[in-house]
């Protein structure tokens, strides 16, 4: 007689099968968790390590690195030392800045926290790519390894020239290559001596309104004044596809909707075409242009030029501000069209915009670091030029270049003509606060060697007067230094 399996054995088999499935599920869960942890560790080391290590608030981790690695050097493009680690008589390490105040904001400081390149490249400076045998040997000998060097794009000659040219004025200067994005100089004033930052800290911070530590090149926010007419001109071209049909009779002022805009010093420019209105920086003409433009398309053009959005800048920065809307009143539109109103920009942004014009419409990603190298000079990582965004067409850039060339040849930037190099640019005289009781900011943005641009210069001198009288001579000294004039 055939014997049937007992119900008990059947239940045991089912129980074992069920238990096996549970173990399998648990095993998969553990594997999943393990892979997730591995993935996070990889992501952290690749994407977040530098961010955390470079954070000025992460002093504990930075201290751990500094116990094992002597911080590397920051070098100029010609190899000059901008920052290095030295040892005092008691064997204590400290950072030395040979150029003192000249590179203060862009190189930064590493005492009382960090700033500038000392902050954003901290992880690289505290990473050693010495050969493995040397690292192991130093570990056994309880000696510190030497950190990597950060080789910058900064040009000591142009930096010193820009620093001296700005003089005692508050403001900023940015110099960059339009076809690569390399930043050759970045000056901000007032400044400080990073060698004595610890001793000077209390004095610097005693004044709640002190802005000495602010890098005005990237963090300063200013009304652009007439430099914004570059953007208004671009908007006009996009809506009309020509400048040839424009004409305006300037009587020194223009009125719309009960609001009046005056030309600088109430100048009367008479009959103008578009090029002459731009060259003479006629406020009346451009205020009228602003009112006549299709406002929605005007706003769209401006916002497409990186206003109210993130910028490709490694150092701490502030966004540019643009508040005009399609339904804004004529009064605000007139102000905005000539670079007043609520519009705010940084000198770095104006350098980027001008670089796009000089580079056929392409904005290259600005960068300050050429490469990372070990202390023996072996290249660890190189940084290469990259297109960030096409801000305008080649034709649009060419038309703006023609207008900006006219500024130098026959307009407010004529002090740059006949210098042995060609130049194109735009001046600005930006009112701020109560215009009746404050001196305007002086602006100039432009580039040299118009046919094949070499460098872009962006200058702002706070409360210094007109752009043509103050900012243009500063830019001229920088262009002259570049061409050894």
| CATH entry, 217-372+386-482, from 3.40.50.1980, 3.40.50.300, 1.20.200.10, 3.40.710.10 | 3.40.710.10
Q: How far is CA 74 from CA 127, 281, 433, in A?
A: 13, 42, 39
Helices (H), 72-195: 104-107, 116-120, 122-125, 132-140, 156-166
Locate 270 and state its tokens.
Answer: 């008479």
Q: Are 463 and 438 in contact (CB under 8 A)?
A: yes
Half-sphere exposure of 370 (CA within 13 A, CB side): 17
**pLDDT for position 48:** 47
Q: Are 50 and 123 in contact (CB under 8 A)?
A: yes
Q: What is the residue-wise DSSP string for 411-440? A: STTGGGTTSSS-EEEEEEEE--SSTTTSPP
Closest of 459, 428, 265, 213 to residue 339, by C-alpha = 428
Locate 413 and state its tokens.
Answer: 């930037």
Q: Output the tens digit of pLDDT for each of the chain's 485 residues.
A: 555 555 555 555 555 555 666 667 777 777 777 666 555 544 544 444 455 555 555 555 555 566 789 999 999 999 999 999 999 999 899 999 999 999 999 999 999 899 999 999 999 999 998 766 666 666 666 678 899 999 999 999 999 999 999 999 999 999 999 999 999 999 999 999 999 999 999 999 888 788 999 999 999 999 999 999 999 999 999 999 999 999 999 999 999 989 999 999 999 999 999 999 999 999 999 999 999 999 999 999 999 999 999 999 999 999 999 999 999 999 999 999 999 999 999 999 999 999 999 999 999 999 999 999 999 999 999 999 999 999 999 999 999 999 999 999 999 999 999 999 999 999 999 999 888 889 999 999 999 999 999 999 999 999 999 999 999 999 999 999 999 96
What φ, ψ does residue 142 adopt, rounded to 5°? 55, 40
Q: What's 102's DSSP letter?
A: G
- CB neighbour list of residue 304: distance below 8 Å, 6 or more residues apart: 391
**pLDDT for position 44:** 44
User: Does residue 248 sit in helix, strand or coil?
Assistant: strand
The burial of 467, by beta-carbon neighbours within 10 Å (0-12 exposed, 13-18 middle, 19 or more buried), is given as buried
**pLDDT for position 218:** 99
Domain parsing of the chain, residue ranges:
217-372+386-482
Distance from C-alpha of 387 to C-alpha of 371, rounded to nearest angstrom = 18
**pLDDT for position 436:** 83
Q: What's 404's DSSP letter?
A: H
Q: What's 438's DSSP letter?
A: S
Residue with tokens 């952290």: 44
Locate 248 and state its tokens.
Answer: 């305006």
Q: What's 45's DSSP letter?
A: I
**pLDDT for position 435:** 83
Q: What is the residue-wise DSSP string for 381-399? A: EE----EEEE-S-HHHHHH
Locate 142 and state its tokens.
Answer: 């309880």
Bridge partners (DSSP) of residue 373 are 149, 379
Q: Are 272 and 283 in contact (CB under 8 A)?
A: no
Q: Are 302 and 348 in contact (CB under 8 A)?
A: no
Locate 309 and state its tokens.
Answer: 């959005």
């Amino acid at each position: 007689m055939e014997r049937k399996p007992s119900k008990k054995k059947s239940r045991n088999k089912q129980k074992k099968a069920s238990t096996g499935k549970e173990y399998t599920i648990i095993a998969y869960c553990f594997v999943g968790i393990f892979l997730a942890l591995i993935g996070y560790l990889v992501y952290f080391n690749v994407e977040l390590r530098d961010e955390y290590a470079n954070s000025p608030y992460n002093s504990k981790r930075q201290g751990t690195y500094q116990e094992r690695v002597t911080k590397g050097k920051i070098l100029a493009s010609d190899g000059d030392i901008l920052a290095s680690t030295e040892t005092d008589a008691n064997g204590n390490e400290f950072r030395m800045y040979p150029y003192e105040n000249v590179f203060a904001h862009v190189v930064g400081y590493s005492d009382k926290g960090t700033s500038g390149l000392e902050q954003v490249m901290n992880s690289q400076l505290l990473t050693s790519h010495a050969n493995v045998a040397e690292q192991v040997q130093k570990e056994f000998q309880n000696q510190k390894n030497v950190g990597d060097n950060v080789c910058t794009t900064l040009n000591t000659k142009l930096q010193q020239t820009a620093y001296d040219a700005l003089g005692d004025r508050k403001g900023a200067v940015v110099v960059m290559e339009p076809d690569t994005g390399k930043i050759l100089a970045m000056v901000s004033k007032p400044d400080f001596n990073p060698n004595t930052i610890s001793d000077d800290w209390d004095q610097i911070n005693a004044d709640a309104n002190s802005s000495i530590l602010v890098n005005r090149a990237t963090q300063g926010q200013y009304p652009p004044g007439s430099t914004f007419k570059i953007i208004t001109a671009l908007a006009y071209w996009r809506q009309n596809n020509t400048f040839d049909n424009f004409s305006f009779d300037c009587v020194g002022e223009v009125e719309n909707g009960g609001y009046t805009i005056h030309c600088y010093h109430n100048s009367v420019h008479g009959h103008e075409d578009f090029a002459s209105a731009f060259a003479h920086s006629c406020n009346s003409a451009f205020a009228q242009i602003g009112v006549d433009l299709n406002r929605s398309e005007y706003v769209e053009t401006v916002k497409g030029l990186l206003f109210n959005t993130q910028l490709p800048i490694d150092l701490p920065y502030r966004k540019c501000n643009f508040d005009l809307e399609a339904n804004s009143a004529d009064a605000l539109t007139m102000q905005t069209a000539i670079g007043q109103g609520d519009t705010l920009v940084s000198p770095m942004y104006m350098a980027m915009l001008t670089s796009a014009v000089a580079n056929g419409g392409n904005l290259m990603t600005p960068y300050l670091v050429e490469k990372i190298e070990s202390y023996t000079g072996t290249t660890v990582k190189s940084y290469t030029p990259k297109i960030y965004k096409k801000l305008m067409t080649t034709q649009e850039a060419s038309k703006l270049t023609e207008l900006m060339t006219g500024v130098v040849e026959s307009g407010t930037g004529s002090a740059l003509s006949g210098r042995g190099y060609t130049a194109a640019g735009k001046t600005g005289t930006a009112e701020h606060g109560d215009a009746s009781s404050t001196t305007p900011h002086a602006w100039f943005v432009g580039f040299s060697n118009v046919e094949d641009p070499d460098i872009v210069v962006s200058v702002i001198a706070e409360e210094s007067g007109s752009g043509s009288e103050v900012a243009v001579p500063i830019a001229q000294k920088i262009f002259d230094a570049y061409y050894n004039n």
